[in-house]
Amino acid sequence: MWKRVLDRAGIREPRLRRDYTEQRRAVRRFATAEYAAARLLLPAPLVPHVVAAVAFMHDTDDRIDRGARDERTAALAEWGGLVHKAFDEGDSGLPVLRCLVRTAERHPEVRAHVEEFLKGCEREVAWRSIADEEELERYVEQYSLPALMLTACLLAPAQAGARAVFTGGCHQLIRAMQRFDFLEDLSEDVRAGRTGVPSDAVARHGADLTRPDGALGRLVVEQADLADSDLLAAACLTEVVDPSYRPFLRALIGVQHLRLDAVRRAGASLATRTSGPPAPAAAALLLRETLARPRRRAVS
């Protein structure tokens, strides 16, 4: 039961319990698979804080993803002001920020990652295309990785050496995810006038991103192979975290393999449609990891 999860996380104030419950509903709605993985596979005391971090990331992205560049820049500045005010005052008129502040009180490392993420949002607001691998790496380092670390920092090991391996694995994981994010959303991004597939790779293959032909198919294969290498290397994450977090990370990485497989199957057709992991396969993966745990919990 969700009420028991809040109890185990030490969230007892009625208003905050309502706030976390509201964020839980939002995350379950827009990130169903991720919510299910966290709820089923992470220790209960951590789940509300993961929910709070994911909800904040999504709310931020939603606020800065609409309108022209000037409008998005203004929205980011306004939002950053509200976030800093919430931290300074320890409260906010917005439930998502009240939860974020409480989560940062319980997990102080979150605050620094919030700052890095907000700074990285400046790049997210500004980009229209990715020129080459170097620019893709800068995008990942400045925006994608800070976004992931909002939640990943909650799972990070305390020992310095293990933490360095963990951060490196997160970098490889999110670089892979970002690469096939750009492939999955290729048709939508092209219609919106921007694309994250490196322009030099597009030119090298002579691909037209609006045409599902052999050149685009070869480009997809190349980008998928690069993502696959990073995804395989990211398996190190399960070796350095607390054992209680390993089922969740195995499931998370497993779902990314399903996404990548779907991208490969879609190939050049990504010019005209989006891609994603098959829901039955993702559900089966979560079920396997859940049944492998000593204790079982129901999603609620």
Would you place residue 294 in the very low, low, confident or very high pLDDT band (cuts 50, 70, 90)?
low
Would you place residue 142 in the very low, low, confident or very high pLDDT band (cuts 50, 70, 90)?
very high
Q: What is the pLDDT of residue 297?
A: 45
Neighbours of 89 (CB within 10 A): 9
- Model confidence pLDDT, tens digit, residues 244-269: 999 999 999 999 999 999 999 999 99
The C-alpha atoms of residue 30 and residue 65 are separated, in whole angstroms, by 15
3-state DSSP call for residue 180?
helix
Structural domains of the chain in order of their starting residue, each with its CATH number: 1-126 (no CATH), 129-300 (1.10.600.10)
Instruction: List, in order, residues 6 or more apart from 277 with CB less than 8 Å away.
Output: 33, 255, 258, 259, 261, 262
Instruction: List, in order, residues 6 or more apart from 38 with CB less than 8 Å away.
Output: 47, 50, 51, 248
Q: What is the pLDDT of residue 299?
A: 45
Neighbours of 196 (CB within 10 A): 21
- Model confidence pLDDT, tens digit, residues 217-233: 999 999 999 999 999 99
The C-alpha atoms of residue 148 and residue 224 are separated, in whole angstroms, by 20
Would you place residue 292 in the very low, low, confident or very high pLDDT band (cuts 50, 70, 90)?
confident
- Model confidence pLDDT, tens digit, residues 26-36: 999 988 888 99
Q: Which residue has the tokens 């204790």?
A: 295
